[in-house]
Amino acid sequence: MGKQQSIQQEKRRKAIMSIVLAIICVIYMLPIVTILINTFKNAGAVKSNLFALPNAETFVGFENYVTGMTAGSFPFWKAVLFNVIITVLSAFLILLFCSMAAWYVARVNSIFCKIFYYLCVFSMVVPFQMVQFTLSKTADSLSLNTPWTIPIVYLGFGAGLAIFMFVGFAKSIPIEIEEAASIDGCGPLKTYFMVVFPMLKPTMISVGILEIMWVWNDYLLPSLVLDLAEYRNIPMHIQLTTTGSYGQMNLGAMMAMIFLSIVPIIIFYLLCQKYIIKGVAAGAVKG
Amino acid sequence: MKTTAAAADGAKANPVKKRKKAAYKSGHSSMTKRSLRKWSWLFIGPVFAAFIIGFIWPFAQGIYLSFCGKFSVISQARIKGFENYVKAFSDETFFHSFWFTALFAVVSVILINLLAFTIAYALTQGVKGSNLFRTVFFMPNLIGGIVLGYLWSMIFDGLLDLWTTQNLVDNETYGFWGLIILLLWQQVGYMMIIYIAGLQAVPDDMIEAAKIDGATKTQTLFRVIIPNVMPSITICTFLTLTNSFKLFDQNLALTGGKPGRLTEMLALNISNGYSNMATRGMAQAKAVIFFLFVAALGIAQLVATRRKEVQQ
């Protein structure tokens, strides 16, 4: 009798906990929902009461989205495009070259390799403000200031974390497998791409996600390096339009723009949630 | 593929292993090593070059410039000693931003870890919908600082409109708590993930044993579970601490340092210094101080973790 009672108590406790958590969840999502609701209101209604639902008078349909996407001398869709270019190129460069370098460091293990490895670890501790001014000047002088060349800067500044994570994993790969490949007549390149590369896949996903999240959301580096009349990424564009230094924007369209810049992140998250959570946890433990 | 599997199997057998060891000693084994060296330029060259451009050169130059007098282009810079450091230490905005950041870091570290641990603990009790809750709590973490800042500045201004005429940027206290709420929203989910991993690693039989010994839920939590997730607590404390000290994007987008420069945190204070030629050298000196401070935090953290690991 007593046991049954305690089981029932336990059940009730869990149900209450579920409800409490559900309420917190709803509160957690309110900021995004508020923005979403406001994307359908006209600018005046956004300004007068942010938390009112749109009514017949204030509802504007998808007009804000159209304005948000296309308005201004530098439309938002272009910023999205450049953001994609920069992120994809940077992630590709970082994953390919850092995994190669990490394998080299793990296998050759010379003094040079050790110094390089510790410099990489060191670079993770250094705050960006330390190199902010000098890096932007260096990038300018080497004309690494377009969306097509800025990934090289990302490769350099992002190498620390990537090398660190890849070396940790590459050391755990049994060397015998590679030696078997080389006995079978594979050169280093073939050994790398046919044998090592496939085994690095789980780490690739973790590193890839961390670097994609960083580059996609990065504001400071592109804003220092890119010529903002020609190229912008999403954070730069949001910053420039909201501060109004490059022309005021309709508040409703602003809401649509903010919402649109969140949507790709949510989609990306829902698609590869499992890997993202795993990658983030791995990065945290190691970094 | 077949051959590699066979080789891996063979390596397990003892005689092969012995032969391998002998081969290592004679320096004969590193076939991969020697042939790899011929390909250095391809394997390590690109990253090394980019690393010099993206980190080593700017870092060295940064240290050099912190000792230089006024300059607009780097080639004009001339060594002038510690002048910039003296200026940095006598700059009131720098001190204010340091204390603002330190206070911010303390409050945010405590609140984030408390909330993240509580939620993680609740989610590992086997309640229905745990996965959905986890998904929702983690999501804000992926939104970048700038977007996050503007999103929240609109929400805060909307809320403040309901009972005052002030905006978020008109009041230092509002700005402080606004930044705290923003950072909580962004990072609780992240730390929660780390705590969940730590909590799941606590052996079940340990908790079971405590129960049999008559421990209450609270006793189990404080005497068994928390000591066992200590490593996660250290990691999270360190991450939240460095994140708070390095915070930039959120600060810029939410308050921009306003009112005046009262809500300017360290990173933003330094960054703003670069835009003016007169304060550029001083900003670089501040950055060096900032870097040393963050590095010291990291080393202290490392030492603390090591000590704990020895005890366990």
The residue type of B148 is L
Residue A191 lies in a domain: yes
Task: Check whether residue A23 and residue A146 sit in a common domain.
Answer: no
Distance to chain B for A220, nearest Cα, Å: 8
User: Which of A50-54, A195-199, B307-311 shows the lowest per-residue confidence on average (mean pLDDT)?
Assistant: B307-311
Task: Check whether residue B145 and residue B76 sit in a common domain.
Answer: no
Domain count for chain B: 2
Reading the block at residue B279, the tokens are: 């304060």
Boundaries of domain holding B121: 88-311
Burial of A79 by CB count in 10 Å (0-12 exposed, 13-18 middle, 19+ buried)? buried
Boundaries of domain holding A44: 2-68
Chain segment B85-121, per-residue pLDDT in tens: 998 999 999 999 999 999 999 999 999 999 999 999 9
What tens-digit pLDDT sequence spans chain B (312 residues)? 333 333 444 444 444 444 444 444 434 345 667 778 888 888 899 999 999 999 999 999 999 999 988 777 777 778 888 889 998 999 999 999 999 999 999 999 999 999 999 999 999 988 888 889 999 999 999 999 999 999 999 899 889 888 888 888 888 999 999 999 999 999 999 999 999 988 988 888 888 899 898 888 888 898 889 988 888 888 888 889 988 999 999 999 999 888 888 999 999 999 999 988 888 889 999 999 999 999 998 888 777 766 765 454
Chain A touched by B61 (CB under 8 Å): yes
Rg of chain B over CA atoms, in angstroms?
A: 26
Chain A touched by B6 (CB under 8 Å): yes
- Percent of chain A exceeding pLDDT 90 equals 40
Task: Check whether residue A17 and residue A124 sit in a common domain.
Answer: no
Chain A touched by B197 (CB under 8 Å): yes
Q: Are A143 and A81 spatial neighbours (Cβ–Cβ below 8 Å)?
A: no
Task: Check whether residue B140 and residue B275 sit in a common domain.
Answer: yes
Q: Supply the mean pLDDT for chain B.
A: 84
Chain A touched by B31 (CB under 8 Å): yes
Q: Is the pLDDT of residue A157 over 60?
A: yes
Chain segment A115-153, per-residue pLDDT in tens: 999 999 889 889 999 999 999 999 989 989 899 999 999
Q: Which residues pair with B68 in a beta bridge?
A: B79
Among B86, B109, B125, the domain-final residue is B86
List all residues of chain A from 59 to 88 with a beta carbon under 8 Å from chain B: none
Q: What is the mean pLDDT of residues A68-77?
A: 85
Q: What is the pLDDT of residue A78?
A: 92
Q: Supply the mean pLDDT for chain A.
A: 87
Task: Check whether residue A12 and residue A101 sit in a common domain.
Answer: no
B274 interaction partners in chain A (CB closer than 8 Å): 132-133
Q: Which helix (H) or strand (E) holds B31?
A: helix B31-37
Domain count for chain A: 2
Task: Check whether residue B62 and residue B141 sit in a common domain.
Answer: no
Task: Check whether residue B137 and residue B248 sit in a common domain.
Answer: yes
Task: Check whether residue B98 and residue B82 sit in a common domain.
Answer: no
Q: What is the pLDDT of residue A35?
A: 92
Q: If you search the block for the tokens 């992926």, which residue do you land on?
A: B142
Residue A11 lies in a domain: yes
Q: Which residue has the higher pLDDT, A13 or A87?
A: A87
DSSP string, B161-211: HTT-S--GGG-HHHHHHHHHHHHHHHHHHHHHHHHHHHHHTS-HHHHHHHH
Among B31, B58, B86, the domain-final residue is B86
Residue A277 lies in a domain: no
Least CB-CB distance to A157: which of B55, B74, B271? B55
Q: If you search the block for the tokens 């070259």, which residue do you land on?
A: A97
DSSP string, A178-222: HHHHHHTT--HHHHIIIIIHHHTHHHHHHHHHHHHHHHHH--HHH
Closest-CA residue in chain B for A266? Answer: B139
Strands annotated E in chain A:
none
Distance to chain B for A114, nearest Cα, Å: 13
Burial of B87 by CB count in 10 Å (0-12 exposed, 13-18 middle, 19+ buried)? middle
Greatest extent of chain A over all pairs of C-alpha atoms, in Å: 81
Global pTM reads 0.87
List all residues of chain A from 95 to 114 with a beta carbon under 8 Å from chain B: 97-98, 100-101, 103-105, 107-109, 113
pLDDT band at A51 (very low <50, low <70, confident <90, very high): confident
Chain segment A32-41, per-residue pLDDT in tens: 999 999 999 8
Task: Check whether residue B93 and residue B82 sit in a common domain.
Answer: no
Q: Which residues pair with A41 in a beta bridge?
A: A59
Reading the block at residue A157, the tokens are: 């500044």
Residue B10 lies in a domain: no
Interchain CB distance below 8 Å, A281 and B193: yes
B38 interaction partners in chain A (CB closer than 8 Å): 188
Distance (Å, whole) CA B184 – CA B178: 10
User: Which of A43-47, A273-277, A283-287, B42-46 shows the lowest per-residue confidence on average (mean pLDDT)?
Assistant: A283-287
Q: What is the pLDDT of residue B31?
A: 62
Residue B234 lies in a domain: yes
Q: Are A255 and A35 spatial neighbours (Cβ–Cβ below 8 Å)?
A: yes
Chain A touched by B143 (CB under 8 Å): yes
Task: Check whether residue A179 and residue A223 sit in a common domain.
Answer: yes
Residue A286 lies in a domain: no
Distance (Å, whole) CA B79 – CA B300: 32
Burial of A278 by CB count in 10 Å (0-12 exposed, 13-18 middle, 19+ buried)? middle
Q: Which helix (H) or strand (E) holds A123?
A: helix A111-125
Among B51, B66, B86, the domain-final residue is B86
- Percent of chain A exceeding pLDDT 70 equals 95
Q: What is the pLDDT of residue A89?
A: 96
Q: Is the pLDDT of residue A251 over 90?
A: no
Angle, vertex CA B242, rays to CA B98 and CA B175, nearest 5: 50
Measured in whole angstroms, the distance separating CA A33 from the mean position of its chain's CA atoms is: 22
User: What CATH number did the domain enclosing A207 receive?
Assistant: 1.10.3720.10
Distance (Å, whole) CA A204 – CA A201: 5
User: Which of A46-50, A76-80, B130-134 shows the lowest per-residue confidence on average (mean pLDDT)?
Assistant: A46-50
Distance (Å, whole) CA B219 – CA B115: 20
Measured in whole angstroms, the distance separating CA B298 from the mean position of its chain's CA atoms is: 10
Q: What is the pLDDT of residue B7?
A: 40
List all residues of chain B from 154 to 173 with a beta carbon under 8 Å from chain A: 154-155, 157-159, 161
Local structure of residue B143 (DSSP, 8 states): S
Least CB-CB distance to B194: which of A29, A219, A281? A281
Q: What is the pLDDT of residue B9?
A: 41
Beta-carbon contacts of A64 under 8 Å, excluding residues fewer than 6 positions away, are A39, A40, A41, A250, A252, A253, A255, A256
